Chains A and B, each alone.
Chain A
Protein backbone atom coordinates (compact mmCIF):
# COMPACT_ATOMS: atom_id res chain seq x y z
CA UNK A 1 0.00 0.00 0.00
CA UNK A 2 1.33 3.40 -1.00
CA UNK A 3 1.70 5.78 1.92
CA UNK A 4 2.89 9.38 1.93
CA UNK A 5 3.30 11.16 5.25
CA UNK A 6 4.14 14.86 5.32
CA UNK A 7 5.63 16.61 8.32
CA UNK A 8 7.39 19.83 9.20
CA UNK A 9 4.56 22.32 8.90
CA UNK A 10 3.86 24.96 11.49
CA UNK A 11 3.75 28.66 12.26
CA UNK A 12 6.61 30.79 10.93
CA UNK A 13 7.16 34.52 10.71
CA UNK A 14 7.36 36.33 7.37
CA UNK A 15 10.88 36.04 6.00
CA UNK A 16 11.47 32.81 7.89
CA UNK A 17 12.28 29.30 6.72
CA UNK A 18 10.78 25.88 7.07
CA UNK A 19 11.60 22.42 5.72
CA UNK A 20 8.86 19.99 4.87
CA UNK A 21 9.40 16.25 4.65
CA UNK A 22 7.38 13.52 2.98
CA UNK A 23 8.11 9.95 4.05
CA UNK A 24 7.11 7.46 1.37
CA UNK A 25 6.47 3.74 1.57
CA UNK A 26 4.83 0.95 -0.39
CA UNK A 27 6.50 1.58 -3.75
CA UNK A 28 9.91 1.87 -5.41
CA UNK A 29 10.49 5.48 -4.41
CA UNK A 30 13.57 6.17 -6.52
CA UNK A 31 11.79 5.33 -9.78
CA UNK A 32 8.94 7.84 -9.44
CA UNK A 33 8.82 11.59 -9.88
CA UNK A 34 7.31 13.40 -6.92
CA UNK A 35 5.62 16.77 -6.52
CA UNK A 36 4.53 19.27 -3.92
CA UNK A 37 1.09 20.85 -4.32
CA UNK A 38 -0.38 23.45 -1.99
CA UNK A 39 -3.83 24.71 -1.17
CA UNK A 40 -4.39 28.05 0.53
CA UNK A 41 -7.32 28.16 3.00
CA UNK A 42 -10.58 28.00 1.07
CA UNK A 43 -8.78 28.11 -2.28
CA UNK A 44 -7.91 25.75 -5.11
CA UNK A 45 -4.91 23.57 -5.84
CA UNK A 46 -1.56 25.03 -6.90
CA UNK A 47 1.34 22.87 -8.03
CA UNK A 48 4.54 24.12 -6.38
CA UNK A 49 7.44 21.91 -7.45
CA UNK A 50 8.36 18.52 -8.84
CA UNK A 51 11.42 16.41 -9.41
CA UNK A 52 12.35 13.18 -11.13
CA UNK A 53 13.25 10.01 -9.30
CA UNK A 54 16.88 10.23 -10.30
CA UNK A 55 17.17 14.00 -9.72
CA UNK A 56 17.64 14.54 -13.45
CA UNK A 57 15.28 17.49 -13.35
CA UNK A 58 13.60 19.80 -10.86
CA UNK A 59 10.75 22.15 -11.71
CA UNK A 60 9.24 25.07 -9.82
CA UNK A 61 6.22 27.32 -10.08
CA UNK A 62 7.16 30.94 -10.76
CA UNK A 63 5.60 31.92 -7.43
CA UNK A 64 8.26 30.00 -5.47
CA UNK A 65 11.25 29.95 -7.83
CA UNK A 66 14.38 31.15 -6.08
CA UNK A 67 12.84 30.73 -2.62
CA UNK A 68 11.90 27.03 -2.44
CA UNK A 69 14.13 24.01 -3.13
CA UNK A 70 12.87 20.50 -3.73
CA UNK A 71 15.12 17.55 -2.99
CA UNK A 72 14.94 13.88 -2.16
CA UNK A 73 16.94 11.20 -0.37
CA UNK A 74 16.21 7.94 -2.13
CA UNK A 75 18.09 5.97 0.55
CA UNK A 76 15.55 7.25 3.09
CA UNK A 77 12.51 7.24 0.77
CA UNK A 78 11.93 10.87 1.67
CA UNK A 79 11.04 13.98 -0.31
CA UNK A 80 11.81 17.46 0.99
CA UNK A 81 10.78 21.04 0.37
CA UNK A 82 13.05 23.72 1.77
CA UNK A 83 11.10 26.96 1.97
CA UNK A 84 12.95 30.24 2.51
CA UNK A 85 11.88 33.89 2.53
CA UNK A 86 8.36 32.84 3.40
CA UNK A 87 5.47 35.20 2.77
CA UNK A 88 1.89 35.37 4.01
CA UNK A 89 0.81 34.21 0.54
CA UNK A 90 2.64 30.91 1.16
CA UNK A 91 0.16 30.01 3.90
CA UNK A 92 -1.42 26.74 2.79
CA UNK A 93 -1.75 23.03 3.29
CA UNK A 94 1.17 21.42 1.48
CA UNK A 95 0.65 17.99 -0.07
CA UNK A 96 3.27 15.67 -1.48
CA UNK A 97 2.14 13.53 -4.37
CA UNK A 98 3.46 10.56 -6.32
CA UNK A 99 3.43 10.22 -10.08
CA UNK A 100 1.25 7.57 -11.63
CA UNK A 101 3.91 5.99 -13.84
CA UNK A 102 7.57 5.17 -13.35
CA UNK A 103 10.28 7.13 -15.14
CA UNK A 104 7.98 9.93 -16.26
CA UNK A 105 8.01 13.68 -15.84
CA UNK A 106 5.51 15.65 -13.76
CA UNK A 107 2.16 14.56 -15.18
CA UNK A 108 -0.46 12.67 -13.16
CA UNK A 109 -0.59 12.75 -9.37
CA UNK A 110 -1.91 9.35 -8.43
CA UNK A 111 -1.33 9.28 -4.67
CA UNK A 112 -1.37 12.16 -2.22
CA UNK A 113 -0.38 12.53 1.39
CA UNK A 114 -2.72 13.98 4.00
CA UNK A 115 -0.99 17.36 3.91
CA UNK A 116 0.80 19.58 6.40
CA UNK A 117 -0.27 23.12 7.25
CA UNK A 118 2.16 26.00 6.89
CA UNK A 119 1.09 29.31 8.38
CA UNK A 120 3.17 32.41 7.72
CA UNK A 121 2.22 35.15 10.12
CA UNK A 122 3.72 37.56 12.62
Chain B
Protein backbone atom coordinates (compact mmCIF):
# COMPACT_ATOMS: atom_id res chain seq x y z
CA UNK B 1 0.00 0.00 0.00
CA UNK B 2 1.11 3.58 -0.64
CA UNK B 3 1.82 5.47 2.57
CA UNK B 4 0.93 9.15 2.76
CA UNK B 5 2.78 11.30 5.29
CA UNK B 6 1.41 14.73 6.15
CA UNK B 7 3.16 17.47 8.03
CA UNK B 8 2.69 19.14 10.33
CA UNK B 9 0.18 17.09 12.34
CA UNK B 10 -1.19 20.33 13.74
CA UNK B 11 -0.74 24.01 13.03
CA UNK B 12 -1.90 27.22 14.68
CA UNK B 13 -2.14 30.44 12.71
CA UNK B 14 -3.82 33.82 12.79
CA UNK B 15 -6.65 35.08 10.61
CA UNK B 16 -5.14 36.39 7.39
CA UNK B 17 -2.02 34.23 7.60
CA UNK B 18 -0.90 31.89 4.86
CA UNK B 19 -0.84 28.23 5.91
CA UNK B 20 0.96 25.41 4.12
CA UNK B 21 0.57 21.67 4.63
CA UNK B 22 2.77 19.11 2.92
CA UNK B 23 2.04 15.54 1.93
CA UNK B 24 4.62 13.00 0.88
CA UNK B 25 3.84 9.72 -0.86
CA UNK B 26 5.92 6.58 -0.32
CA UNK B 27 6.19 6.18 -4.12
CA UNK B 28 5.57 8.16 -7.27
CA UNK B 29 1.83 8.85 -7.63
CA UNK B 30 2.18 11.36 -10.52
CA UNK B 31 -0.60 13.85 -9.72
CA UNK B 32 -3.19 11.42 -8.34
CA UNK B 33 -3.65 13.36 -5.14
CA UNK B 34 -6.70 14.96 -3.52
CA UNK B 35 -7.19 17.21 -0.49
CA UNK B 36 -10.20 17.14 1.86
CA UNK B 37 -11.41 19.34 4.67
CA UNK B 38 -13.23 17.88 7.65
CA UNK B 39 -14.89 20.12 10.20
CA UNK B 40 -15.69 18.70 13.65
CA UNK B 41 -18.66 16.34 13.58
CA UNK B 42 -19.04 16.63 9.82
CA UNK B 43 -18.24 14.51 6.79
CA UNK B 44 -15.11 15.29 4.76
CA UNK B 45 -15.42 17.72 1.88
CA UNK B 46 -13.39 17.58 -1.33
CA UNK B 47 -11.38 20.78 -1.87
CA UNK B 48 -8.66 19.97 -4.40
CA UNK B 49 -8.51 17.11 -6.91
CA UNK B 50 -5.73 15.87 -9.16
CA UNK B 51 -3.19 17.79 -7.05
CA UNK B 52 -4.08 21.30 -8.17
CA UNK B 53 -7.68 21.53 -9.40
CA UNK B 54 -10.10 23.48 -7.25
CA UNK B 55 -13.43 21.76 -6.71
CA UNK B 56 -16.45 23.77 -7.82
CA UNK B 57 -17.61 26.22 -5.17
CA UNK B 58 -14.41 26.09 -3.11
CA UNK B 59 -12.92 29.53 -2.34
CA UNK B 60 -9.85 30.48 -4.35
CA UNK B 61 -7.76 31.00 -1.19
CA UNK B 62 -7.32 27.21 -1.24
CA UNK B 63 -4.72 25.81 -3.63
CA UNK B 64 -2.64 22.72 -4.24
CA UNK B 65 0.52 21.85 -6.11
CA UNK B 66 3.07 19.13 -6.59
CA UNK B 67 3.69 15.91 -8.47
CA UNK B 68 5.55 12.67 -8.03
CA UNK B 69 5.97 12.18 -4.30
CA UNK B 70 5.78 15.69 -2.85
CA UNK B 71 2.66 17.83 -2.63
CA UNK B 72 1.63 21.08 -1.01
CA UNK B 73 -1.70 22.48 0.13
CA UNK B 74 -1.98 26.20 0.89
CA UNK B 75 -4.58 28.49 2.39
CA UNK B 76 -3.52 31.95 1.27
CA UNK B 77 -5.47 34.05 3.76
CA UNK B 78 -6.79 32.06 6.70
CA UNK B 79 -10.42 32.63 7.68
CA UNK B 80 -12.12 31.62 10.95
CA UNK B 81 -14.32 29.12 9.09
CA UNK B 82 -11.20 27.25 7.93
CA UNK B 83 -10.82 25.61 11.35
CA UNK B 84 -10.78 21.93 10.42
CA UNK B 85 -8.64 18.88 9.86
CA UNK B 86 -7.18 18.52 6.38
CA UNK B 87 -6.34 15.21 4.70
CA UNK B 88 -4.45 14.31 1.56
CA UNK B 89 -5.44 11.14 -0.31
CA UNK B 90 -3.76 9.23 -3.15
CA UNK B 91 -5.54 7.29 -5.85
CA UNK B 92 -2.64 6.00 -7.91
CA UNK B 93 -3.30 2.53 -6.50
CA UNK B 94 -6.07 0.72 -4.70
CA UNK B 95 -6.36 0.76 -1.75
CA UNK B 96 -6.69 4.51 -1.86
CA UNK B 97 -4.98 5.87 1.23
CA UNK B 98 -5.16 9.02 3.30
CA UNK B 99 -2.59 11.00 5.18
CA UNK B 100 -2.96 11.07 8.94
CA UNK B 101 -4.46 14.56 8.88
CA UNK B 102 -3.41 18.06 9.85
CA UNK B 103 -5.44 19.87 12.49
CA UNK B 104 -5.66 23.59 11.85
CA UNK B 105 -6.38 25.95 14.72
CA UNK B 106 -6.79 29.71 14.88
CA UNK B 107 -4.49 31.63 17.23
Which of A66-122 touch B at CB < 8 Å? 95, 100, 105-110, 112-115
Would B46 and A108 count as touching, CB distance under 8 A? yes
Interface size on A, residues (CB 8 A): 23
Q: With A107-B32, A107-B91, A108-B49 as known contacts, state yes or no: A113 contacts B43, CB within 8 Å.
A: yes
Contacts of B87 in A (CB 8 A): 44-45
Q: Is B44 an interface residue (CB 8 A)?
A: yes
**Residues from chain B with Cβ under 8 Å of A107 in the complex:** 32, 91, 96
For residue B44, which residue of chain A has the nearest CB?
A112
Complex CA gap A46/B8 in Å reads: 19
Give the number of residues in B that approach A within 8 Å (Cβ atoms): 24
CB within 8 Å for A100 and B96 given contacts A44-B101, A45-B87 = no
Contact of A44 with B98 in the complex, beta carbons under 8 Å: yes
- Interface residues of chain A, those whose CB is within 8 Å of chain B, are 35, 37, 44-47, 50, 59-62, 95, 100, 105-110, 112-115
Give the 8 A-B residue pairs with the shortest CB-CB distance, closest first.
A112-B43, A107-B91, A45-B98, A44-B101, A59-B94, A47-B96, A108-B49, A61-B95
10 intermolecular pairs with C-beta atoms under 8 Å apart: A35-B96, A45-B98, A47-B96, A100-B49, A106-B91, A108-B34, A108-B49, A112-B44, A114-B42, A115-B43
